[in-house]
Structure 1
Amino acid sequence: MGQGRQPTVDVHAHFLPGHLPGWPGETAGPRWPRLRTGDTEGQILIGDSLFRRVRPSLWDVTERLRELDEAGIDHQVISPVPVTLVYDAEPEPAARYARALNEALAQTAGTSGGRLTAWGTVPLQDPAAAVRELEHLSGTLGLTGVEIGTTVNGLELDDEALTPFFAAAEATDTIVFVHPMDGGGGAIRRRGQPYDFGLGMLTDTAMAAGALIFGGVMQRFPRLRVMLSHGGGTLPWAWPRLARGARLGDVDHTIDLAATIRRFWVDSLTFDPGHLRLIIDRFGADRVMTGTDHPFITRQIHTATEEIETARRDGTITDDESGALRSANAVALLAGRSGDPSTADSTVDSTVEKKRDDAR
């Protein structure tokens, strides 16, 4: 790290351990994701079908850290690959799969020299099992967050069946990271590319956020911490119309909409420096953080910080907002709900300080 360079924390990245102890495997049927690794490329398989070709940094910690160094990323939050949120599986093997994945992710973070923070997963198709796993990952494993999908087998996130999960997330102060599933498929009337990636994933995220807001989840759990992927999807653009539409429907009119939307944290993954101004204005200057989707989007681990610098240079965002976006907001989120960077997570702080010392 060059002396004087501003530290960067990436809150949106994915990791898939090469070996999952206790994985249900083929005895549970063809649904289960698995990773086939190679020297220069790997494959995510669903049963025997190819789902995606991937780079070694998806599963190799050494290669992951090399890429972080190359891109100037000081600390990174790793979360499950969305395809591993197997909500359509039977509850019992899904719970075992989540346990194995969480323990492997915790082990991965533990071998990273403090460079990685891991978030886990829970089997939301069985809310009681999800609560048990949430308590295990947050208590026993010490994971600070959990990734969830935008829907659970057709249930929206404000469905009463999921209330015990959100209650447990608030009680354990676990960050809830909402990420679209199925690559955005089914969220809009057209399928395939560019529609799924370009519109489906963003619409899916906004619909999930809408359920949390207008369905009263954020109101019922005032200490719940929720992070939305991909800049909040279409939510920041659609918000004025959604807020107006809420007056026309049967939404609880006691909900303070302006305050509620500013309770979300979001990443910066919009692919456009100009968009940073709107998401900062919509969610708050203390709520937007660097996100890369590493290692799935080619060079985005480099481009994300370049976009922030471009926005700072051209006056779209201020110097203070740039610093908050690159590291301070993420450090505050990982520290706890106070939002005070002075109480920052010691692992993140020590990582940044160590790299400063190395640079000297």
Structure 2
Amino acid sequence: MRLDRRGVLATSLALGGAATAAPVPGKIALEEHVIIPSFLDYLNKAMPPVSAEARAVLVRRMLDFGEERLAAMDGAGVSRAILSISGPGVQVEPDTARATRLAAEANDALAREIQRRPDRYGGFAHLAMQDPAQAARELERCVRELNFQGAMINHHTLGVYLDDPRNDVFWERLQALEVPLYLHPDDSFRMPHVLEGVPELHKPTWEWTTETATHALRLIVTGVFDRFPRAQVILGHMGETLPYMLWRLDSRYAFTPTRRPIRRKPSDYVRSNISVTTSGQCDDVPLTAALAALGESRVMFSIDYPYEDSATAARFIEKAAIAEDVRARVMHGNARALLKLRS
């Protein structure tokens, strides 16, 4: 999400904004957000500080599954968007029964919208990880009955991270279903001392990056991918800085005593179990780093609609300094393979 100095969403809320040339068609976008009325309280409590006008535009666009969203997709050459409930959703709900019920309601609501335009939309399940066994069952229902492509979880659930052993039942089901988990950012459980007094660095500016990168590393160093070697995780924002850090992670992990050693180097798990998207990162430098560090099959296009501008994201990937065959894989080929999309 980009903010101007007045706290108003800048380019992403501009009307129009279409590229001057016709966009390259066929893109698949994986971090494209929606909201339903029963989730507005969660959304409003967690949204970064923006003007009332910007908030109203964001909410309107997330509630919309029709003309405005499809026009933005068409203007960016996006043929299919994998939709997900905007965070934090039920990850912050203290009542387990309520969280479980609302997650299922959100998935049913999303499925109804996808059924109206199955040629344009797919979905990631929203899951109440307060009850991991029930979350596993809900994931299976979403994949097998609602034809969703995986799940999106908004960081920790009431301070419990996904490496907690109680979540193994979920990882087992995710692996068996052969669908990915999109690990999406959200607020710190407790604000780190280093961020106190600097609200300019809170939420998407920096806090969410360090939070999500650390969450992903917890999955590695606690052995989640040793226990579930075929589990696949997606990180947005070009990998939350991890592609830059692989050599140092390996070097310092080897230097660090541990009672629970993992079987391979940390970088090996990043390359085999993590893919990244370009959401909210329209810059050749991190794109080049991600492709070099992870391989050409592990980077996928995304926008982060409506928090980022669709036309800007489209122009970026169309003009990025990469080979044309790599561009095609990033724009649609890799997502089609990972999500097993037939069309």
TM-score of the two chains, using structure 1 as the length reference: 0.79
Unaligned ranges ≥5, structure 2? 1-20, 47-51
1:142 Cα shift? 2.0
Structure 2 CA distance for aligned equivalents of residues 110 and 188 of structure 1: 46
1:267 to 271, 277, 285: 277
User: Who is 1:303 aligned against?
Assistant: 312
3-state SS, counterpart of residue 126 of structure 2: coil
Distance 1:206 1:155, change over 3 A: same
* RMSD of Structure 2 on Structure 1 (CA): 2.6
User: Who is 1:119 aligned against?
Assistant: 124
2:111 to 106, 131, 134: 106
Instruction: Please identify, of 186-195 and 322-331, the stretch whose mean Cα deviation from structure 2 is larger.
Output: 186-195
Listed as ranges, the matches of 1:146-161 within 5 Å are: 146-161=151-166
1:227 Cα shift? 0.7
Contact 2:128 2:135 in 1 (8 A): yes
1:61 to 58, 61, 65: 65
1:332 to 322, 337, 340: 337
Listed as ranges, the matches of 1:167-182 within 5 Å are: 167-182=172-187
1:70 matched to 2:75? The reply is yes
User: Who is 1:186 aligned against?
Assistant: 191
1:218 matched to 2:225? The reply is yes
Bigger relative CO (Cα 8 Å, ≥ 6 apart): 2
Q: Deviations over 1:236-288 (max 9, x none)?
A: 12222221121122151522434311121110132312211101111210110
1:305 Cα shift? 2.1
TM-score of the two chains, using structure 2 as the length reference: 0.83
Structure 2 CA distance for aligned equivalents of residues 273 and 144 of structure 1: 28
3-state SS, counterpart of residue 170 of structure 1: helix
Structure 1 CA distance for aligned equivalents of residues 23 and 204 of structure 2: 37
Structure 1 CA distance for aligned equivalents of residues 219 and 290 of structure 2: 18
Q: Deviations over 1:63-95 (max 9, x none)?
A: 211221122211111111112133442110110
Structure 2 CA distance for aligned equivalents of residues 256 and 330 of structure 1: 26
Distance 1:102 1:188, change over 3 A: farther
Structure 2 CA distance for aligned equivalents of residues 289 and 187 of structure 1: 31
1:207 Cα shift? 0.5
Q: Deviations over 1:119-144 (max 9, x none)?
A: 11111011122122222212222212
User: Who is 1:254 aligned against?
Assistant: 263
Unaligned ranges ≥5, structure 1? 21-32, 36-42, 336-344, 350-360
Instruction: Please identify, of 94-103 and 154-163, the stretch whose mean Cα deviation from structure 2 is larger.
Output: 154-163
Instruction: Please identify, of 277-286 and 242-251, the stretch whose mean Cα deviation from structure 2 is larger.
Output: 242-251
1:15 to 34, 40, 52: 34
Distance 1:253 1:215, change over 3 A: closer
1:230 Cα shift? 1.3
1:55 Cα shift? 4.8
Structure 1 CA distance for aligned equivalents of residues 193 and 226 of structure 2: 28
Structure 2 CA distance for aligned equivalents of residues 308 and 183 of structure 1: 31
Structure 1 CA distance for aligned equivalents of residues 186 and 146 of structure 2: 25
Distance 1:125 1:258, change over 3 A: same
Q: How many residues align?
A: 310
Structure 2 CA distance for aligned equivalents of residues 44 and 158 of structure 1: 25
User: Who is 1:321 aligned against?
Assistant: 326
Distance 1:265 1:184, change over 3 A: farther
